[in-house]
Amino acid sequence: MAKAMSLQKAYDTNQVPFDGAFIISSFFRGQSYYSIYEITAYKNVKDVYNSPDGLTFKTDGSRTHMLIEPASYNEKYTEPAMRDAQSMIPYRFSECTVLTGKRMERIIIPKAPTMLYSSFTILNNEGDNYSFLFLPSPDVYLAIKKFFQDALYNDTGMRKEDCLKASDTIMETIKQFTIWHA
């Protein structure tokens, strides 16, 4: 069975695998259901260290995002890449699949991941934000899919059917990661 643990706990106890893993981070915006999930895969780490912004990994990686907009979001027609720093993901609408939930929330998921070269940083968690490390195992994709189904339902208040569709769609992108495969 796939194992997940807090990224900070893994770092503090020297359990960050240097041969590869997935990291899922969440970023919530105030009292709204506006949420960004960041999914990163890496392998062959040369070093991991604390920096002022978070944990920095000296290695290549693959990354994608999932953006949840509540129905009441005022800037829903602004390209995701052109929004303010706390609300943006580095993609345009044309590069994403946009799902609309039963409660009129929008789920924006890139069709393809991006590559991270030489190093990347997983930002420090503040407030309700979190980062989990998914350790390599044969069923890690199943564990990540189940994680998203539960997280979307509990964190964003989406209906169960919409959570299932969004988790299926993000898994299509995650399975395109070139840096590391389960």
List pLDDT tens digits, range 83-133: 998 899 999 999 999 999 999 999 999 999 999 999 999 988 888 899 999
Domain annotation covers residue 62: yes
% of residues, the chain, pLDDT over 90: 81
Task: Name the pTM for this structure.
Answer: 0.94
Q: Which residues, other chains included, contact 125 with Cβ-Cβ below 8 Å and sequence gap of 6+?
A: 8, 25, 131
List pLDDT tens digits, range 27-75: 998 778 899 999 999 999 999 999 999 999 999 999 999 999 999 999 9
Domain annotation covers residue 18: yes
Q: What is the pLDDT of residue 124?
A: 84
Is residue 107 within 8 A of residue 173, CB to CB? The reply is: no
Domain annotation covers residue 179: no
List pLDDT tens digits, range 146-173: 999 999 999 888 999 999 999 999 999 9
Domain annotation covers residue 101: yes
- Number of domains the chain is built from: 1
Residue 181 has pLDDT above 80, yes or no: no
Domain hosting residue 153, numbered range:
4-174
Domain annotation covers residue 111: yes
- Closest by Cα among 97, 104, 37, 27 to 72: 104
DSSP 5-49: EEHHHHHHTT---TT-EEEEEEEE-TTS--EEEEEEEE-S-SEEE
Domain annotation covers residue 42: yes
% of residues, the chain, pLDDT over 70: 97
Domain annotation covers residue 181: no
What mean pLDDT is predicted for residues 3-17?
A: 93
